[in-house]
Chains A and B, each alone.
Chain A
Amino acid sequence: MSIEDNGGLRVLAINILGRFLSNCDNNIRFISFSFITLMVATWIGQNQKIRLMVVEINLRGDGAERLRERGRAKAPE
């Protein structure tokens, strides 16, 4: 996660990962989900606000708890 970026690229990255979240295969959803939580953890560590638009996450106790623990993050307006 040490790639230099800006707000626009971050939004694009989240959108790409969000597409994987809408996949019907739970394995792909889990991986994209764990990667999103990794990104959120990195960005929150840098004191930046991110909003994640995660729709219909139904991972049945695999990664959903981790997102709830991190709380709802807000994206740059």
Chain B
Amino acid sequence: MINFVLLISRQGKVRLTKWYSPYSQKERSKVIRELSGMILSRAPKQCNFVEWRGHKVVYKRYASLYFCMCIDQDDNELEVLEIIHHFVEILDRYFGSVCELDLIFNFHKAYYILDEILIAGELQESSKKTVARLIAAQDSLVENAKEEVSSLSNIIAQATK
């Protein structure tokens, strides 16, 4: 199973974190500090797997972002690389050529997408079309809620005049 997912920028700043195993806040910051130091210092020619604390960390660099996933010792590393690529492809389709700024300003949407793909550290949805459809439905739900709120606020404003 996947223990946690990290998105780290080239500068070592964390852009997204998702924890599927219990870690205290102190442990989390220590893990992020350790792993960002390890991964950012690795050469491009080295393989995408790091053995760390009895786990395996699978990472892949896309432009200025490192996508990292920590898995158990007996898990398949190549499968996790495919999951990372799958996640990136869905982000790319949703944002239309995704960049780091998209994830900074629309981080909540990145979390929504990740929650559609992974549940409890396991891959749940392998279809990109299905994920896109579900996220579009969620977006329309949010838009409807916003419209309802704005109409309610208009009614309240008129009533108080």
Contact = CB atoms under 8 A, between A and B. Distances in A.
A31 B78 contact: yes
A68 interface: no
Contacts of B77: 27, 30-31
A61 B81 CA distance: 21
| Secondary structure dominating the interface of A | helix
Contacts of A61: 46
Given A27-B78, A31-B78, A62 B45 contact: no
B43 A60 contact: yes
Interface string B45-67: 11111000000000000000000
Contacts, number: 26
Interface in B64-115: 77-78, 81
A51 B43 CA distance: 32
A59 interface: yes
Interface string A13-32: 00000000000001111110
B49 to A, nearest CB: 6
Nearest to B43: A60
A30 B81 CA distance: 14
A42 B31 CA distance: 32
Interface of B: 43, 45-49, 77-78, 81
- Which 5 pairs across A and B sit closest by C-beta, in order of nearness? A26-B47, A30-B47, A27-B47, A60-B46, A27-B48
26 contacts: A26-B45, A26-B46, A26-B47, A26-B48, A27-B47, A27-B48, A27-B49, A27-B77, A27-B78, A27-B81, A28-B78, A29-B47, A30-B47, A30-B49, A30-B77, A31-B49, A31-B77, A31-B78, A59-B47, A60-B43, A60-B45, A60-B46, A61-B46, A62-B46, A62-B47, A62-B49
